[in-house]
Amino acid sequence: MQLTPRRHELLSVYLLGAGTLFMYIGYVTQSFISEPIIRGMSAEKPGTISEFAGYYGQAFHYTAFAISSLVTPSIQAYIKSKWILTTASALFAIYYLGFMHFNTFYFYIAQVLMGIGYSFYNNGEGAYLSEHSSRRTIESNTGIETAVGHSSLFVGGLALLTIFYFVPQDTTQVTNISRTFSEFEIRIIYGTFFALNVISMLIFALLPTKQYDSIASKSQVVLPSLQQQISGVFLRKLVKQCQKWRLPFIITIHLLFIITGLVLVQLSVPEMATIRPTTEVSPQLIHPSRLIVGLIGFLFGVGDFSITMARAVICQVVVPECRMQVFSISRLYQCLSSCIVLVLTPYMAITCWTITLFVGLVLGTSTFIIVARRTDKHQTDIITAHSKIELTTTELA
């Protein structure tokens, strides 16, 4: 049966989201457990790896990401986006294999390779979306792909819950400070992440390549519908009342949710929790609990969803002819700032963290809104001028 162009778009976008989901399950989920795993390895075998290697590894990761982001857009001219995505997933898989038999040198090299893979993925994702979306459907398709692909936190949590249920913890590993992991548990967890990543590689390798009226091949300016972008999401009713604000509305949602999350972190998390496990009674106004942690995670999750969607859309709407380069530059700024913060993390307490994130959040949101409003005005002016020309032509006829 021959698929219509729109159904072909949806099939491509859902498959892209599924590949992203299986790749991100391991990537996102392991970030919650890598710190106690590495800290436990450092305590069990002193001198083999620094207890702060998780932070330093992320610094290596983002440095490689930043540098490779300068060159990966050029690769699009020589390699199809589906194979760029497949390569990215393969580089992620290399990282998980390192925990089958841990080696410090391999750990840092794998972090670098994963940073390159992350850069490949971001460019491949944007390119594939633009190849299988028109200006009318780009926001809708971006919302679908983001919703499917970035549900990895929920699915990853279920995967960890299943692993912990079927692989009971040795009571000798239980401490009053934090959970530790045996070598067997580590191999089971990261082996599971590796298997899921292989599924991601297969999905990316089988992505459809046929294109119709795509952004990658067209350059006409058409105002997209914000309602399509987040159709089905709980913000829909609000968006329908604020359509004239478009992207600034979404980035404002991001700002409010992240600020609320930062306030809860400041009020509930012990001051030295970013540096070492804490056992002292918390002097915070809000006593730490699973409910508070879950609420903070939800707030940051909505914030991450909104900024991911808004950034992907604005890069393709503002400068469609250089969308990959602009997206890479935005990632470059993010990576450089992340590297600096990660290197300084062993010396940054909670208050320092929240102030740093708050300042960056306000600056980034302000510049985003300025660009988004200017872009919206520019698009409106173009369409108004085009309408006047058509009206004049009709009158003369």
What string of H, E and C letters represents the secondary structure of 57-116? HHHHHHHHHHHHCCCHHHHCCCCCHHHHHHHHHHHHHHHHHCCCCCCHHHHHHHHHHHHH
Structure tokens at 376: 């919206």
Which candidate, 261, 269, 252, places its Cα nearest to that of 297? 261
Query: Using one digit for the tens of pLDDT, what is the confidence trace for 73-90?
Result: 778 778 888 999 999 999
The b-or-e profile of 298-325 (16+ CB within 10 A means b, else e) is ebbbbbbbbbbbbbbbbbbbbebeebbb
Structure tokens at 393: 């032509």
N residues, the chain = 397
pTM for the full predicted model? 0.64
Q: How far apart are CA 16 and CA 203, in angstroms?
A: 8
Burial class (CB in 10 A: 0-12, 13-18, 19+), 190: buried
Residue 250: partners with Cβ closer than 8 Å, 6 or more residues away: 226, 229, 230, 306, 309, 310
Give the whole-number percent of the chain exceeding pLDDT 90.
Answer: 12
pLDDT score recorded for residue 91? 93
Q: How far apart are CA 328 and CA 121, in angstroms?
A: 11
Q: Read out DSSP for 142-206?
A: HHHHHHHHTTHHHHHHHHHHHHHHHSPPPGGG--SS-----HHHHHHHHHHHHHHHHHHHHHHHT
Does the structure show a pLDDT above 80 at 100? yes
Q: How many CA atoms, within 13 angstroms, populate the side-chain half-sphere of residue 29?
A: 26
Query: Using one digit for the tens of pLDDT, what is the confidence trace for 334-354?
Result: 777 777 777 777 778 888 888
Query: Using one digit for the tens of pLDDT, what is the confidence trace for 262-271?
Result: 999 888 888 8
Give the whole-number percent of the chain exceeding pLDDT 70.
Answer: 73
Which residue type, as a one-letter code, is found at position 266?
Answer: Q
Structure tokens at 186: 């580590």
Burial class (CB in 10 A: 0-12, 13-18, 19+), 397: exposed
